[in-house]
Amino acid sequence: MFDVTTIRKDFPILSRKVNGRPLVYLDNAATSQKPQQVIDCIVDYYANYNANIHRGVHALSQEATDAYEASRKKIQTHFGIAKSHEVIFTSGTTHSINIVANGFASILSANDEIIVSQLEHHSNIVPWQMLCKTTGAILRVIPMNLEGGLDMDAYQELLCSKTKLVFVNHISNTLGTINPIEFMTQQAHQVGAAILIDGAQSCSHIKPDLAALDCDFYVTSAHKMCGPTGIGMLYGKEAWLEKLPPFQGGGEMIDQVTFEQTTYAGLPNKFEAGTPNVCGGIAFGAAIDYLNTIGFDAIANHEEALLNYATKKLLAIDGLKIYGTTKKKTSVISFNIEGIHPYDIGTIVDKLGIAVRTGQHCTQPIMDFFTISGTVRASFAFYNTQEEIDIFVAAVEKAKMMLS
Amino acid sequence: MTIKAIQEELIEEFAMFDDWMQRYEYMIDLGKSLPLIQAKNKTDDRVIKGCQSKVWLEAELKEDKMVFSADSDAIITKGIIAILIRTFNHQTPTDILNANTDFIDKIGLKEHLSATRANGLTSMIKKLKLYATAYQAKLNS
């Protein structure tokens, strides 16, 4: 039974004060807070079985290796991935994307095409621009519409035999738009292109079934889903991961090394050079366990109720405009109030103990599309409450009064 | 008035307020008296760059004293730059370069010194002092 009061007790940070007031944390799209269960897992690792993994014969090393690999299996099961070695531990979404971008440098030739969407985060645009520069490939962009959705007709027109890779986020970090990734995957495959989906924003709200989705790559970060920072996942179909060259050289990723030649280790080690983030990997698994205990259906229901409630209350404020109004969106509200700079609103609500994000959210193309300099973004998680939204809306009203 | 005396004056003015809201409202008011930079001078080389709000800053030298003008698209930022300009306006480049800016903490605006505020006070002070360095060099040449 979903009970938000009980759930909040799992998160020690939610009972602290900011600027003398109870913290209202509405910056969940930037990073989530951590439950005691995950914090305990991290403490337990360092207190009881910290060791380097995959190499020691001693007991600690074996315990740590077992826990790390058990976590990989947990992630595999959670995402519906066929083989555990298709799960690569990375430092996060950006690292995962760079592994794929780097790999495609050896696959692409001049005049091949890569498609990205206008809704992408800067970290999802820059690696592809760099890749195009080195390979002579061409970057195509799926345009967005006024609601903040992607234009699927334009997407289908862009796809052609030259398309080698499609890159799209599952959910827009700025607008909350849920993109039609099932359709986009099918369409990409019809022209023989691979598709990489950025799940950084989705995995705390949705449990993607990658077997059914059939995408070629899926990437995410643990810290957006109640896990620690510095750990994330690259899922790739086995055939693709075999094909891509390693990203970094070092220990763990090798099979045989002589000064004449090195042969690489098999999957997943080929992409996990050096001592990995062992603790992070284990805690990633603990975070997934935690989310599954609450249940993704319950999470979605609660967040949708929060989204609807907050949307209605915010729209009652005169001059307030919400950006991102597609029917299928997650609990993210980006908005501006006419004549007021988002930075000013963010500063005032911070003084009232509320954490929101202001600015461009690393998505300058979206800002350019709406011809605005930035927005205020409130993003809700399953541990937020209706009461917190009341506090937030009252704070926005107060800010408006002070600033106009 | 010396920079120090103006800073003392500001500390006194802000001490009249009991809470942050009044202090912010006063700061916003101070922003309204900011000597505005001319529209034609709102060029990229006069921008203090950051991803949050835009600040333009211009400096001239009149009778060996610095005269500043500025603007911002955010009104809290405008208030902050107005406070800084009030302390530095009509001062010599040397006095500006020697001035310390600890008074910011005393007027209750410490949070704007944080490194995460890309257009925070730190980068504004840096730009103000950069102009002073340039004009000091000019005066000495």
Average per-residue pLDDT for chain A? 94
Chain A partners of B28 at a C-beta cutoff of 8 Å?
402-403
Q: What average pLDDT score do residues A259-268 get?
A: 80
Domain B3-140 indexed as CATH 3.90.1010.10: yes
pLDDT tens per residue across span A318-343: 999 999 999 999 999 999 999 999 99
What's the pLDDT at B50?
Answer: 58
Domain boundary, last residue among A292, A308, A336: A292
Nearest-CA distance A402 → chain B (Å): 7
User: Which pLDDT band holds residue A94 (cuts at 50, 70, 90)?
Assistant: very high
Q: Residue B31: closest CA among chain A residues belongs to which residue? A: A403
Q: Do B21 and A402 touch (CB under 8 A)?
A: yes
φ/ψ of A303, rounded to 5, equals: -65, -35
Query: Among the three residues A275, A292, A309, which one is the final residue of a domain in this structure?
Result: A292
A343 to B77: CB separation less than 8 angstroms, yes or no: yes
Is the Cα torsion angle A41, A42, A48, A54 positive or negative in sign?
A: positive
pLDDT value of residue B51: 47
Interchain pair A402, B54: CB under 8 A:
no
Of residues A65 and A259, more confidently modeled? A65
Angle B15-B16-B19 (CA atoms, 0-180°, nearest 5)?
A: 80
Q: Which residues of B touch A19 (CB under 8 A)?
A: 20
Query: Residue A226's pLDDT is what?
Result: 98
The verdict on A313 and A272 lying in the same domain is: no
d(CA A324, CA A363): 13
Closest C-alpha to A224, from A94, A323, A120: A94
Q: Residue A351: closest CA among chain B residues belongs to which residue?
A: B20
Q: Using the beta-carbon criterion (under 8 Å), do A373 and B76 form an inter-chain contact? A: no
- Same domain? For A316 and A224 the reply is no
Which residues of chain B from 88 to 127 reach within 8 Å of chain A, CB to CB?
A: 111, 119
Options A132, A226, A279, A362, the catalytic residue:
A362
* Mean predicted confidence (pLDDT) in A134-155: 96
Instruction: Confirm or reject contact between B52 and chain A (CB < 8 A).
Output: yes
Radius of gyration of chain B (CA): 14
Residue ranges per structural domain of chain B: 3-140
Task: Output the pLDDT for position A249.
Answer: 77
- Band (pLDDT 50/70/90 cuts) for residue B113 is low
A18 and A92 belong to one structural domain: no
- Least confident span in A184-188, A242-246, A381-385: A242-246
DSSP label at A8? H
Q: Quote the CA–CA distance of A127 and A102 in Å, as a whole number.
A: 8
Question: In this model, does residue B19 exceed pLDDT 70?
Answer: yes
Residue A85 CA to residue A73 CA, distance in Å, equals 9
**Residues of chain B contacting A403 with CB distance shorter than 8 Å:** 28, 75
A43 plus A21 within the same structural domain? no
pLDDT of amino acid A260? 76
> Cβ contact (<8 Å) for A348 and B24?
yes
Higher-pLDDT residue of B84, A362: B84
* Chain B partners within 8 Å of A373 (Cβ): 53-54, 73
> Which tokens hold the place of A212?
């059914």
Read off the pLDDT of each residue in A274-280 and give the average, rounded to a whole number.
95
Chain B residue with CA closest to A360: the answer is B51
User: For the segment B37-71, what is each residue's pLDDT rounded down to a tens digit?
Assistant: 999 999 988 988 754 788 999 999 999 999 999 99
Q: Which residues of A touch B (CB under 8 A)?
A: 19, 341, 343-344, 347-348, 350-351, 358-360, 373-374, 402-403
Kindly tell me if the per-residue pLDDT of A362 is higher than 70: yes
The H or E element that residue B11 is part of is: helix B3-15
Q: Is the pLDDT of residue A25 over 70?
A: yes
Q: Which residues of B are tagged catalytic?
A: 51
Q: What are the φ/ψ torsions at residue A332 (nearest 5 degrees)?
A: -125, 130
Please tell me the distance from the alpha carbon of residue A165 to that of residue A120, in angstroms, as a whole number.
Answer: 15
Mean local confidence (pLDDT), B73-91: 93
Asked whether the whole model's pTM tops 0.95, one would answer no
| Nearest-CA distance A338 → chain B (Å) | 13
Higher pLDDT, B138 or A32: A32
**For the residues A154-167, what does the mean pLDDT come to?**
97
Chains A & B: contacts with CB separation below 8 Å: 39
Q: Kindly tell me the sign of the dihedral angle through the C-alpha atoms of A372, A378, A380, A386.
A: negative
Question: Given a cut of 70, is residue B119 above it in pLDDT?
Answer: no
DSSP string, A77-96: HHHT-S-GGGEEEESSHHHH
Question: Could you tell me if A231 and A305 lie in one domain?
Answer: no
- B52/A19 touch (CB, cutoff 8 Å), yes or no: no
Chain A residue with the nearest C-alpha to that of B32: A403
Average pLDDT over residues A143-168: 97
* pLDDT, position B117: 56
Give the structural domain span for A117.
39-292
Cis status of the peptide bond prior to A268, with omega within 30 of 0 = yes
Are A359 and B25 in contact (CB < 8 Å)?
no
> Domain containing A370 — which CATH number?
3.90.1150.10
Q: How confident is the model at residue A19, as a pLDDT?
A: 86
Prediction ipTM score? 0.88
Measure in Å the smallest separation between the Cα of B75 and chain A Cα atoms. Answer: 7
B24 to A359: CB separation less than 8 angstroms, yes or no: no
Which positions in chain A touch B52 (Cβ < 8 Å)? 343, 358-359, 374
Q: Scan for tokens 């023989």, then name that residue.
A: A192
Clarify whether residues A133 and A227 are in a common domain: yes
Q: Which of A292, A313, A336 is the last residue of a domain?
A: A292
Query: Are residues A116 and A241 both part of a single domain?
Result: yes
* Bigger pLDDT: A362 vs B116: A362
A232-236 and A254-257: which strand pairing? unpaired
Number of domain units in chain A: 2
Helix segments in A118-168, DSSP class H: 122-135, 152-158
**DSSP letters for A170-194:** SB-TTT-BBP-HHHHHHHHHHTT-E
* Residues A128, A223 share a domain: yes
Assign 3-state DSSP to chain B and report helix, strand, coil percentages, each to 5.
Answer: 55, 15, 30
pLDDT confidence of residue A263: 76
Instruction: Show Cβ contacts of residue A306 under 8 Å, excluding neighbours closer than 6 positions.
Output: A331, A380, A384, A385, A386, A389
Please tell me the predicted confidence (pLDDT) of residue A209: 97
Token look-up 């891509």 returns A244
Same domain, A56 and A9: no
Domain identity same for A205 and A337 = no
Residues A370-397, mean pLDDT to the nearest whole number:
96
